[in-house]
Amino acid sequence: MTIIEKYADRFLARYSNYPQGQYVNLLLVRQVESEAIFRTEGSGEPLSKEFVHAGLDGDEIIQRVVISKRKQTAVERRTGRELLRAHGLLFEKDGKSGTCALNRNNPCERCMDCMIYGYAAGGGGAQKSRVVTDDAFSLHPATTITGSKQFNALFDNSTMRDPETGKPSHSIGTDEYVKPETVFLDIETLKDVTANEFRYILGNILRSSRYGAITARIGKVKNLLAGVIFSNCEIFSNLELTQAAYDHLRNGDDENGSTEPDFPLRTQKLVEAILEVSLELGGRVASHIVRLTPEEVVALVGEIITLYQDEAAVRRVLEETTKMYGPQG
């Protein structure tokens, strides 16, 4: 029996318009694999950061780098839509607005992307997203995980030499970036999804790797599934999870009096910390909670990888799900 079959009662048998209170919470580690910039698109601002408490206890305040929730799901939606497009499963609503596209105000209202991640149509139709997330925080303080680089501004001829005088550029700017092996903690909550919708959403997460600013240098990010919790309501927040993991991984005072976790940190150590603190945090949630064991989490990721290696099986999942939503009414 597969993990998804074992927990079949945690998924809806078919899509329903009415909330059923079946939540699947995916505990994710987003690990940066190359220098990355996560700024607000087009703002010209440096990285977004927030002052927050270091851990759950104590008064220590640190600045953490933040990846906005919109940025995280937008990347995963694009990954999923590429797949739907390849299988001809993005539609056109009325024959004049063009094929369903993100940010173009022409949702088809019946593809998997529209039905799962939601849409708002000008004509009044709307579907709430059933994938809910929040801003993700870096585990470590910004001072530990960011660096800045100077760059020479380019001239019109795309070189650093003035085409008229031949002299080098003296216009120097700085770019702030997040260092490789920086980790962010994030919980994605899926509401009332079927098993096939779950396969699609988790596939999008595991297959997405480019986050950050659209222009300039884009960071490569690896998503790791650290845990899965079934519940009847939303559980704890990204920030609580980050703070609890930070406390758990703190070191004793070093010669500088610092007690922050090692950087870089082995992801396995972080995954173990997440499992442990999520057990504790889960104990404070007013809901019946079922957690996958670490072995089940590994097996589940294996099931998703095996599925996506089989093109015909993926097509079946996508086609069956799309058909389930029925003709556009």
> Which of 84, 108, 193, 221 touches Zn ion by CB under 5 A?
108
Contacts of 321 (CB under 8 A, 6+ apart): 112, 194, 196, 197, 200
The number of C-alpha atoms within 13 Å of 124 and in the hemisphere containing its C-beta is 0
On whether the CB atoms of residues 215 and 225 are closer than 8 A, the answer is no
Nearest CB to Zn ion, comparing residues 126 and 305: 126
Q: How far is the CB of 84 from Zn ion (least distance, A)?
A: 8
Rounded Cα distance, 139 and 134, in Å: 15
Per-position x/- string for 280-299, each x denoting binding to Zn ion as judged by CB under 5 A, each - no binding: --------------------
**131 near Zn ion (CB under 5 A):** no
Q: How far is the CB of 101 from Zn ion (least distance, A)?
A: 8
Residues touching Zn ion, count (CB under 5 A) = 5
Nearest CB to Zn ion, comparing residues 75 and 100: 100
Nearest CB to Zn ion, comparing residues 111 and 317: 111
- CA distances 302 to 188, 202, 235, 319, Å, are 19, 12, 25, 22
Strand partners, 32: 221
Dihedral of CA 131/16/232/299: which sign?
negative
Q: How many CB atoms lie within 10 A of CB 151?
A: 13
Q: Which stretch binds Zn ion (CB under 5 A): 30-38, 73-81, 104-112, 234-242?
A: 104-112
**115 near Zn ion (CB under 5 A):** no
Strand partners, 187: 27
Q: Which stretch binds Zn ion (CB under 5 A): 111-119, 131-139, 147-155, 278-286?
A: 111-119
* Residue 159, helix vs strand vs coil: coil
Nearest CB to Zn ion, comparing residues 111 and 206: 111
**84 near Zn ion (CB under 5 A):** no
Q: Which stretch binds Zn ion (CB under 5 A): 112-120, 222-230, 244-252, 269-277?
A: 112-120
Rounded Cα distance, 70 and 68, in Å: 5
Largest CA distance in the chain: 73
> Which of 37, 54, 100, 297 touches Zn ion by CB under 5 A?
100
Q: How far is the CB of 210 from Zn ion (least distance, A)?
A: 22
**114 near Zn ion (CB under 5 A):** yes
Give the interface with Zn ion as residue ranges (CB under 5 A).
Answer: 100, 107-108, 111, 114
